[in-house]
Amino acid sequence: MKILTTQLTGLFQRIAKEEQAIEDTARFLAQAVIGEGSIHLAAFGELEAVAASALNGAETLESAVRYDPSAELSTADRVWILAPKDEGDSLAQELSGRAVPFAMLTAESHRNERADVFLSMNIDKGLLPSEDGGRIMLPHGLGALYV
């Protein structure tokens, strides 16, 4: 348990160093609330935990809705793509082509030049050693919830 706690603490400290990108994302998403728009959450894989927490948690995210591809988006709306790696790239390309403002968070090392705001948590390997010499415990969801 100590090893896991130490590794998670290190991960959270590493993510915290991305304070500027986190603040940029927060400001970008807040524009939807101020501009009478909505924050559309497009979550993939275990990063769905962020959408579940934002929509159903004890402290819901104001103006947040689950992304619906058929929804009419206005310039006041913002889309937040949360993906383990490249799962959100086709949506990013589509939104970019439609001039829809969006932010993107990825768990693993990845880059998307189309996003208005982008952050990668760079969680590319497990935190703990396994018996066979590999790595286990990929905390993608925990990292995304921390952001």
Alpha helices in the chain (DSSP H): 2-16, 19-34, 48-56, 89-97, 140-146
pLDDT at 1 over 90: no
Per-residue model confidence (pLDDT) at position 130: 92
Rounded to an integer, what distance in angstroms lies between the CA atom of residue 36 and that of residue 121?
30
Share of the chain above pLDDT 70, in %: 100
Q: Are the CB atoms for 127 and 8 separated by under 8 Å?
A: yes
Q: Give the bridge partners for 79, in sequence order.
A: 40, 102
The reported pTM is 0.95
Q: Who contacts 130 (Cβ-Cβ below 8 Å, separation ≥6)? A: 136
pLDDT at 106 over 90: yes
pLDDT tens, position by position, 57-104: 999 998 999 999 999 999 999 999 999 999 999 999 999 999 999 999
**C-alpha distances in angstroms, 128 versus 7, 8, 135, 140, 145?**
8, 10, 5, 14, 20
Rounded to an integer, what distance in angstroms lies between the CA atom of residue 90 and that of residue 13?
31
Q: How far is CA 131 from the centre of its chain?
A: 31
pLDDT tens, position by position, 7-61: 999 999 999 999 999 999 999 999 999 999 999 999 999 999 999 999 999 999 9
